[in-house]
A and B are shown apart, each in its own frame.
Chain A
Amino acid sequence: MNCREAVKTVTAILQDQLVVCANGIISRETFTARDRVENFYMIGSMGLASSIGLGVALSENVRKVIVFDGDGNVLMNLGSLAMVGALQPKNFLHIVFDNEAYASTGNQPTCSNMIALENIAKSSGYLYAKRVTDKKGLIKEMSQLLESDGPSLLLVKISRYVGEIDIGRVTHTPNQIKERFMSAIK
């Protein structure tokens, strides 16, 4: 699976869940695959998608809050995993698209080829943390996770980005992204 296939697979089965996307390719792929008012696209603040998502999850206790994260983003803010584990927000679902690289800046390697991020989530107190490597596993896990209480983390192993980055940028302004997302929560 590449990032595009993984993001398409996950976004296709979303209903009214709120989604906070990490910066770079992950936001761009999500925007292109299925732009929704329930999506918050981070364009800067690398590492903070899980913290923003946590803030939403703690304040909005009805709907599920899903964070679309990258391995580079997660590694920049591992402390956030400990907070999620400690606070136990039931409505928090963390999806990490792990290509073992910083794809957005040219595929420089991260260390997630050697460090199992789902195990960090487990020992940080996530109720459930699992790794999937193919589309079938991704669909199966996603449909279960959307129905169950968290905090949970799904590590989605994806292939490296090949060639030039050919995916469009998010066309909404930051303020529009925020206003839409807030109107979806209301």
Chain B
Amino acid sequence: MIRSKDFADELVSSGFNFFTGVPCSIIGNLISELTDRSDVTYIPAVREDVAVGIASGAYMAGKIPVALMQNSGIGQCLNALTSLNLIYELPCLLIITWRGFNGKDAPEHIVMGETCDTLLDTIGIVHHTLSGDNAKELITESFNHIIERKTPIALFLKKGVID
């Protein structure tokens, strides 16, 4: 189990310095950690496409942004990703909670839970899945991806990986 505080520390020390998103219970503590920090900004967004839009603006003004969301939020921001981020080469790290993984969740999560990773493959967004022992590497890899490839990259976070 990753501690939310350690995860937030890792993101910040890797160079991410602008955070926005819409909550999911899985990342409730992570969002609190980011909100409480004085060295970075967490902007609560009203929708996931708004979060991605704000992150894109922040990137153009020099920030390295992260947008946090539930996988249901991919549905809200698909158009922003395809008609803004991917074509302008506006990168951000998407931290996406994976509800409905293996079909075990509330009914509203099942369809997206089964398709969210292939959905990102379909539009050409690179993604990885976090576990207790790869978080540090994946965060560094994501940062490098943003600097070098200038496209969004996603890290999926399943229930029980972060406290």
Chain A interface residues toward B at CB < 8 A:
20, 40, 42-48, 51-60, 77, 79-80, 82-83, 87, 174-175, 177-178, 181-182, 185-186
Q: Which chain B residues numbered 68 to 101 have a C-beta less than 8 Å away from chain A? A: 79-80, 82-84, 87-90
19 contacts between A and B (CB under 8 A): A45-B53, A48-B49, A48-B52, A48-B53, A48-B80, A51-B57, A53-B57, A55-B18, A56-B58, A56-B60, A56-B61, A59-B57, A59-B61, A77-B50, A174-B87, A174-B89, A175-B87, A178-B89, A185-B61
Complex Cα distance, B82 from A44, in Å, reads: 9
Distance (Å) between the CB of A56 and the closest chain B CB? 4
Q: Who on chain A is nearest to B50 by CB?
A: A51
Q: Who on chain B is nearest to A80 by CB?
A: B50
Chain B interface residues toward A at CB < 8 A:
18, 20, 41, 43, 45-47, 49-50, 52-63, 65, 79-80, 82-84, 87-90
Q: Who on chain B is nearest to A59 by CB?
A: B61
Distance (Å) between the CB of A84 and the closest chain B CB? 11
Classify the secondary structure of A's interface with B.
Answer: helix
Complex Cα distance, B49 from A175, in Å, reads: 20
A83 pairs with B50, CB closer than 8 A: yes
A52 pairs with B53, CB closer than 8 A: yes
Q: Who on chain A is nearest to B86 by CB?
A: A174
B88 pairs with A174, CB closer than 8 A: yes
Question: A56, A77, A177: which contacts B57 (Cβ < 8 A)?
Answer: A56
A40 pairs with B54, CB closer than 8 A: no
Question: B46, B47, B49, B61: which contacts A55 (Cβ < 8 A)?
Answer: B61
Q: Who on chain A is nearest to B54 by CB?
A: A55
Complex Cα distance, B20 from A186, in Å, reads: 23
B55 pairs with A55, CB closer than 8 A: yes
Across-interface contacts of B41 in A (CB, < 8 A): 58
With A80-B46, A186-B62 already in contact, 4 other A-B pairs whose C-beta atoms are closer than 8 Å: A55-B58, A59-B63, A77-B49, A82-B46
Complex Cα distance, B52 from A29, in Å, reads: 26
Q: Closest 3 CB pairs between A and B?
A: A55-B57, A44-B83, A51-B53
Most buried by B among A55, A56, A59, A177: A55
Complex Cα distance, B55 from A44, in Å, reads: 16
Question: A43, A55, A80, A82: which contacts B56 (Cβ < 8 A)?
Answer: A55
Most buried by A among B43, B49, B82, B88: B88
Complex Cα distance, B56 from A52, in Å, reads: 6
Question: B43, B79, B84: which contacts A58 (Cβ < 8 A)?
Answer: B43
Complex Cα distance, B53 from A175, in Å, reads: 16
Q: Who on chain B is nearest to A45 by CB?
A: B84
